[in-house]
Structure 1
Amino acid sequence: MKKTLVSALTTALVVGAASTTFAASNPFSDVPADHWAYDAVSQLAADGVIEGYGDNTFKGNRNITRYEMAQMVAKAMTKNTSGADKAMLDKLAAEFAEELNNLGVRVSNLEKNADMVKWTGEARYRYWSYRDEQADGSKAKTNTDQLQLRLFPTAEVNEHWKVKGRLTGSMNMDKDNTGDMKMTFVYADGDYKNFNVKLGKMPLYSANDEGLVMDDFFSGAQVTAGKDLKVVLEAGRWNAGADANGYVNANPYVKDTPAYNARKAQVDDAASYQAVQLNYAKGKVSGGVGYRHFDSEIFKTNNYSKHADVDDANIWSVGGKYAFNKNIALLGSYAQNTKADYYKKSGNVELDYKGANKANKGSWGAYVAYRHLGANVSLAPTYDTAHVAHLNEKGWDFGASYIPMKNVLTTVSYFNGKQFDNHDKKAETLYARVSYFF
């Protein structure tokens, strides 16, 4: 890279004059006072952006390396800039991003001077095929083809607080409907050292049991404190009538059926919600315990309690995970609803091998699991093959994911088991997914 003092002048434009008067003394012996770049070089030296060489020379006609230029850009980034100077600094930092990272300069320092709102997203196609054996021995087959666009805006408020959201547009391809775009969640996220608080509508995930009980959303507040051992407190309201995809959560009412519509007209689907979790993660071991309380009239059914007069749920769960090495991990979890009389227990044992990383082309992962899912305790479980309208099943679940190209994920899963609420009749689920991340 030819120096000829051009790089110094470029940086001078970026940094700008710290004062209206340039340094009076001559900083370098080979840049005399009558040199055309004397003022710029003097100011840069005074600002600490350039240092020259040990013999008090600048060597303006010498080629410089990208590393040397990155050092100047890094120092310039510590200055307050605006307008055209800021725009030029942004371009220089982008050009020398790799060298800046090697120097230990966080590119996020530059990003804070860029747009305050960032967008990411995912376009995905998902397919489910449910094949359940009926009382007469026949097989009922239900297929769902779903196309979905999800957009994730993140707005920076200050160094500790951000506002995060998700816009979701869904359509069922088998019906060729147009669908619509809805705000799935939006919440304020305050992040401090070993302390985090979220306010608004946000993801609800039972991390202590790896999603055996819940993977959905709720409106309210969440507070997390701790480092290796974390305490999580949650309180608010959860929509017991439908999950994020519009499916009913509470057994046994399936959305848009006469039974569901009649029930919905009688009760409020929103459930008050309170929870506490203790989660631990360090090294190869992670796990936790959790308690969740829900209160809603939607639980008052003959499939929940003997007398259909119980309107709340007390769910306890425990889970743990051990990573044998970077490729193999074993996890297990158990949950029980002490208020329910039926379908009140759930359990999961899973062996994971490797893992698909969307940033790494060719990466892949696979799992095998045995699951027992009671609908009155696993209210909205995380498993792809466990649709909330197809719980009360037990059996083996197999799956694999692969990254054919960067930011493209493909997944196939298969469940084979029995319906323990239907005399152990056979149950099968086939699931497939293709996601494009941007």
Structure 2
Amino acid sequence: MKRQTALALAAVFSLSVAGTALAAPANPFVDVPAKHWAYDSVSKLAKAGVISGYGDGTYRGDRTLTRYEMAAIVGKALANSEKADAETQKELDALKTEFAAELNNLGVRVDSLEKKIDNVKITGEARIRYEDKEQKNIATFDDDGEITGWTNPKSKPLQLRTRLKVQGAINDDWTYVGRLQNTQDLKTGGIDANNEGKTELNWAYVNGPIGALDVTLGRFDATPAYGIALDDTIDGVQASFGNKLKVDIFAGRQDYVGDTKDDLYIANLGYAFSDKLNFKGAYFHLDPQDSDIDTGNLYEVGLDYQLTPNVNLAGAYLKSDADDENKGYFGQITYKGADRTAPKSFGAWVNYRDLEAGTLISTTLDYGAVQWDGKGYEVGFSYVPVKNARWTTSYTDLEGSYDSSQKAEYFLTKVDFYF
């Protein structure tokens, strides 16, 4: 019997090959006889547009179907039953009655599969970034850390960064999160100066409650206060609690100086004075593994205020216990914001900073310093042309806080894609 009407069978075959035994009154893999009335009913459903069919829009009526396969077709039709007129609905009701047992068991099978799939979620980001960097009077060093000279480097890197994030539910309370990252320099055949084109696992942590604490353990991002002193991954533990007064305690290790990870302890506070005014503050204690480098303490405190629905003001002060180069200031005005889920949304900002060397651990700023420190301004703009794609462009002009002969100009443009 020739059929060229649309039927949904692709999912049927992928499910049936698994061969899982289903508890039904009759064997669901027994063929429905070739002259069974169900074939005519299904054909009517297809002609009525209730069933969407194979990818090529055909019903392969030169073969019989098992009861299992037929039930899957009926299930597909039930999902589109709003398209059925009164006559077509009668055909659908008859099919539903005939294959009730198989439909029930197929539904259990699919629900179980969906629960398993929902247990693990994979998301990702892809970023293309171009930079034009020009610096003056930048120090060079020998293997012993002694300054050997001064250079005026220029570079125009074009990079592709890919991130894949995997999140899985351990149980109802605990979750595992991992993230793979790879950065390729598109101008040098894929070799990046930071990781030599390798793929690294830069997130790997579990998160869940212990009593009143929200606990994160493993390798994760730490962004205390406004993220000016530190916005980077650490290996350790974070415990958080509080609502209006939010408290985060960190203990772990981070690449601060040298080739070894240095012990780092952080206490972070956040307090909402109102729905417009917020305070943030953080205390850092660093204990370098290199015995020639002293331990250090650093504070970062600041306020942010929503001046209007579209304008936000933020400012921060940083102070360390270093003998010199121990103060920092930062201020920023932000207009609107580019929400990656909202096409045509945009944002702009301008900031000024004077960050001395003793106040920076691993800064959140794309270009926080000329070499060790930095004083100057940045302007930027971001725009979302389509959902989950954000274009950002910025210009940064800095000079050294300690040595004003050191200069740096950075132009950056990038597009981030989220999936």
Q: Determine if the TM-score, normalized by the shorter chain, exceeds 0.5.
A: yes
Q: Please tell me whether the aligned partners of residues 355 and 401 of structure 2 are also in contact (alpha carbons under 8 angstroms).
A: no
1:118 aligns with 2:136: no
Q: SS at the partner of 1:324?
A: strand
Segment of structure 1 superposing worse, 367-376 or 162-171: 367-376
Deviation at 1:90, TM superposition (A): 9.1
Return the letter of the residue paired with 1:201.
Answer: R
Return the letter of the residue paired with 1:156.
Answer: A
Sort the Cα spacing of 1:117 and 1:426 in 2 relative to 1 into closer, same or farther, 3 A. same
Deviation at 1:84, TM superposition (A): 2.5
Deviation at 1:139, TM superposition (A): 5.3
Deviation at 1:378, TM superposition (A): 1.4
Return the letter of the residue paired with 2:306.
Answer: A
Deviation at 1:292, TM superposition (A): 0.7
1:224 aligns with 2:240: yes
Match of 1:314 in 2: 297
Give the TM-score normalised by the residue count of structure 2.
0.67
Which one of 280, 289, 292 corresponds to residue 281 of structure 2? Answer: 289
CA distance in 2, matches of 1:189, 1:82: 37
Deviation at 1:134, TM superposition (A): 3.4
Return the letter of the residue paired with 1:163.
Answer: Y
1:162-311 alignment runs, 5 A limit = 162-177=175-190, 179-191=197-209, 195-206=213-224, 208=225, 210-240=226-256, 250=257, 264=258, 269-281=260-272, 282-298=274-290, 310-311=293-294
Match of 1:326 in 2: 309
Q: Deviations over 1:301-350 (max 9, x none)?
A: xxxxxxxx542120111011111232110001111111x22332222100
Return the letter of the residue paired with 2:223.
Answer: Y
Return the letter of the residue paired with 2:269.
Answer: L
CA distance in 1, matches of 2:243, 2:400: 41
Instruction: Figure out how many residues of one structure are paired with residues of the other and give that number.
Output: 310
CA distance in 1, matches of 2:171, 2:105: 21
Match of 1:400 in 2: 381
1:422-437 alignment runs, 5 A limit = 422-437=403-418
Return the letter of the residue paired with 2:222.
Answer: L
Deviation at 1:418, TM superposition (A): 1.6
Deviation at 1:421, TM superposition (A): 3.3
Sort the Cα spacing of 1:426 and 1:82 in 2 relative to 1 into closer, same or farther, 3 A. farther
Q: Deviations over 1:212-241 (max 9, x none)?
A: 11010111110000111111111111122x
Q: Please tell me whether the aligned partners of residues 131 and 140 of structure 1 are also in contact (alpha carbons under 8 angstroms).
A: yes
Deviation at 1:185, TM superposition (A): 1.7
Q: Deviations over 1:130-156 (max 9, x none)?
A: 222339999542333221110000011
Deviation at 1:373, TM superposition (A): 1.9
Which one of 155, 159, 165 corresponds to residue 172 of structure 2? Answer: 159
Match of 1:41 in 2: none
Q: Flag structure 1 segments of 5+ consecutive residues without an equivalent.
A: 1-19, 21-60, 65-80, 92-110, 241-249, 251-263, 301-308
Q: Please tell me whether the aligned partners of residues 131 and 142 of structure 1 are also in contact (alpha carbons under 8 angstroms).
A: yes
Sort the Cα spacing of 1:346 and 1:63 in 2 relative to 1 into closer, same or farther, 3 A. farther
Return the letter of the residue paired with 2:126.
Answer: A
Q: Deviations over 1:155-188 (max 9, x none)?
A: 1111211000110011122221351211112000
CA distance in 2, matches of 1:323, 1:225: 25
Return the letter of the residue paired with 2:247.
Answer: V
Deviation at 1:425, TM superposition (A): 4.1
Deviation at 1:125, TM superposition (A): 1.5
1:415 aligns with 2:396: yes
Q: Please tell me whether the aligned partners of residues 414 and 430 of structure 1 are also in contact (alpha carbons under 8 angstroms).
A: yes
Q: SS at the partner of 2:340?
A: coil
Return the letter of the residue paired with 1:85.
Answer: G
Q: SS at the partner of 2:106?
A: helix
Deviation at 1:424, TM superposition (A): 4.1
Q: SS at the partner of 1:335?
A: strand
Q: Deviations over 1:62-87 (max 9, x none)?
A: 999xxxxxxxxxxxxxxxx9962146
Q: Please tell me whether the aligned partners of residues 356 and 363 of structure 1 are also in contact (alpha carbons under 8 angstroms).
A: yes
Match of 1:386 in 2: 368
Match of 2:106 in 1: 84
Sort the Cα spacing of 1:324 and 1:90 in 2 relative to 1 into closer, same or farther, 3 A. farther
Q: Please tell me whether the aligned partners of residues 385 and 413 of structure 1 are also in contact (alpha carbons under 8 angstroms).
A: no
Return the letter of the residue paired with 1:84.
Answer: L
Q: SS at the partner of 2:107?
A: helix
CA distance in 2, matches of 1:351, 1:279: 20
Q: Please tell me whether the aligned partners of residues 373 and 391 of structure 1 are also in contact (alpha carbons under 8 angstroms).
A: no
Deviation at 1:194, TM superposition (A): 6.7
Q: Please tell me whether the aligned partners of residues 356 and 402 of structure 2 are also in contact (alpha carbons under 8 angstroms).
A: no
Give the TM-score normalised by the residue count of structure 1.
0.64
Sort the Cα spacing of 1:193 and 1:411 in 2 relative to 1 into closer, same or farther, 3 A. farther
Return the letter of the residue paired with 1:316.
Answer: Y
Return the letter of the residue paired with 2:381.
Answer: A
When the two chains are superposed, the root-mean-square deviation of aligned CA atoms in Å is 3.3
Q: Flag structure 2 segments of 5+ consecutive residues without an equivalent.
A: 1-24, 26-85, 90-102, 139-148, 192-196
Q: Deviations over 1:367-388 (max 9, x none)?
A: 000011223321111112336x
Q: SS at the partner of 2:357?
A: coil
Q: Please tell me whether the aligned partners of residues 285 and 295 of structure 2 are also in contact (alpha carbons under 8 angstroms).
A: yes
1:363 aligns with 2:345: yes
Segment of structure 1 superposing worse, 284-293 or 173-182: 173-182
Sort the Cα spacing of 1:379 and 1:63 in 2 relative to 1 into closer, same or farther, 3 A. farther
Q: Deviations over 1:69-120 (max 9, x none)?
A: xxxxxxxxxxxx99621465699xxxxxxxxxxxxxxxxxxx7564311100
Return the letter of the residue paired with 1:132.
Answer: Q
